[in-house]
Amino acid sequence: MPFGNTHNLLKMNYSAEQEYPDLTKHNNHMAKVLTPEMYAALRDKQTPSGFTLDDVIQTGVDNPGHPFIMTVGCVAGDEETYDVFKDLLDPVIEDRHGGYKPTDKHKTDLNPENLQVYPHSTLKPTLFITGGDDLDPNYVLSSRVRTGRSIRGFCLPPHCSRGERRAIENLSIESLNVLDGEFKGKYYALKNMTEEEQQQLIDDHFLFDKPVSPLLLASGMARDWPDARGIWHNDDKTFLVWVNEEDHLRVISMQKGGNMREVFTRFCTGLTKIEALFKERGHEFMWNEHLGYVLTCPSNLGTGLRGGVHVKLPNVSKHEKFGEILKRLRLQKRGTGGVDTAAVGGVFDISNADRLGFSEVELVQMVVDGVKLLIEMEKRLEAGESIDDLMPDQK
């Protein structure tokens, strides 16, 4: 699935040139990399489950992209995609993840104890004396860390059959229902949710929308919606798992306020418990030492981690160097509705820009350190003072 696979052989009746997509108006990572020669070399290949090159690239062909925003333009249908189509995906990964080479190794670190208590060396020690548990709540409204996980042996959302998707759901429910203590919670299948429950979850920023983005739709991830999709969350609503949206699992830890340390600790503890529960049932997560955790979109490889805050930065966000500051801090901004939304009332979603090549601890540390600096800058600008001496070096 979605459409390229079953007639992969039919295509061989035509030359590679006749099949090669028209990418002249395209601006995404796939289009930059996929030459006619590469297309010719890869087009008759498929993964053991039957995912083909055209399946990988369909979303990128259908969505030429934007002059300013560079989308990835390709997806994986299973774990083997990253191997069978490495000639395409390695350069895409390298371009997207800041020069990450095919021979590089990714480190995983989910030990929250490693989140530094001491100040980061690039920042003035007198200003920052603790490690992530006290982001100023006058500015930081909420803190959140998310990642994704894929279950080894199953096809990914662009390619999975209904049977597989349901099996993933069943496995997930079984494992999550065992969780107790602060993780004790409940699963809500999208099919059975009432409209009120659903709207409440969306308003709380908990639930995923029915996909409307053509980027997702063109890859086939929304097939059979809402079959086998759902959300599990703990009673406190601080730990959530999305099942079968863009990935098998999306795991989210969040709470109001600025205690990122607590959020990250819960995140790591919860993930570790879930992984153990899956292993008890004979399943592991897709992971390898080169790509880290394997997810549907190449942009989420490695940690798949986006750690961020909603923070009030009405002054610094208008500063001419705001973009440059974020870039140096290796952070990105989004609106408060998430990706592709606008900031409302000077409140921004600030998170790490990287996913691969840094560990989870490193990335969250960057967010903590970076947000502290941004708040310091905001306070200076409020007081009418300069922030020139606070300009960070490129991390």
Residue 384 Cβ, how far from other proteins at the closest point, in Å? 48
Residue 292 Cβ, how far from other proteins at the closest point, in Å? 23
* 309 annotated as a binding-site residue: yes
* 261 annotated as a binding-site residue: no
Residue 264 Cβ, how far from other proteins at the closest point, in Å? 32
Residue 145 Cβ, how far from other proteins at the closest point, in Å? 29
197 vs 227 by CB, closer to other proteins:
227
* 213 annotated as a binding-site residue: no
* 328 annotated as a binding-site residue: no
How far apart CA 263 and CA 19 sit, in angstroms, is 49
195 vs 393 by CB, closer to other proteins:
195
How far apart CA 307 and CA 140 sit, in angstroms, is 13
User: Which stretches of 20-161 are DSSP H helices?
Assistant: 29-33, 36-42, 53-62, 81-84, 86-96
Chain centroid to CA 158: how far? 16
Residue 16 Cβ, how far from other proteins at the closest point, in Å? 9
82 vs 139 by CB, closer to other proteins:
82
256 vs 281 by CB, closer to other proteins:
281
11 vs 32 by CB, closer to other proteins:
11
For residue 372, give every residue at least 6 positions away whose Cβ sits within 8 Å of its Cβ, in sequence order, or none: 123, 127, 128, 135
End-to-end CA distance of the chain: 41
The helix, strand and coil proportions of the chain, stated in percent and rounded to the nearest 5, come to: 35, 15, 50
Question: Closest Cα partner for 82 from 51, 60, 106, 59?
Answer: 51
Helix (H, G, I), strand (E, B) or coil at 334: strand
* 220 annotated as a binding-site residue: no
* 337 annotated as a binding-site residue: yes
**Applying CB under 8 A, which residues contact other proteins?**
1-11, 14-15, 18-22, 48-50, 54, 58, 61-62, 153, 155, 161-164, 166-167, 170-171, 174, 191, 217-218, 222-225, 227, 281-283
* 146 annotated as a binding-site residue: yes
Question: Closest Cα partner for 323 from 315, 311, 333?
Answer: 333
Residue 88 Cβ, how far from other proteins at the closest point, in Å? 17
18 vs 121 by CB, closer to other proteins:
18
* 145 annotated as a binding-site residue: yes
Using CA atoms in the order 13, 16, 19, 20, what is the torsion angle rounded to 10 degrees?
Answer: 170
Question: Closest Cα partner for 80 from 50, 106, 55?
Answer: 50
From the annotation, which residues make up the binding site? 142-146, 205, 250, 306-310, 334-339
Tell me the binding residues for ATP: 142-146, 205, 250, 306-310, 334-339
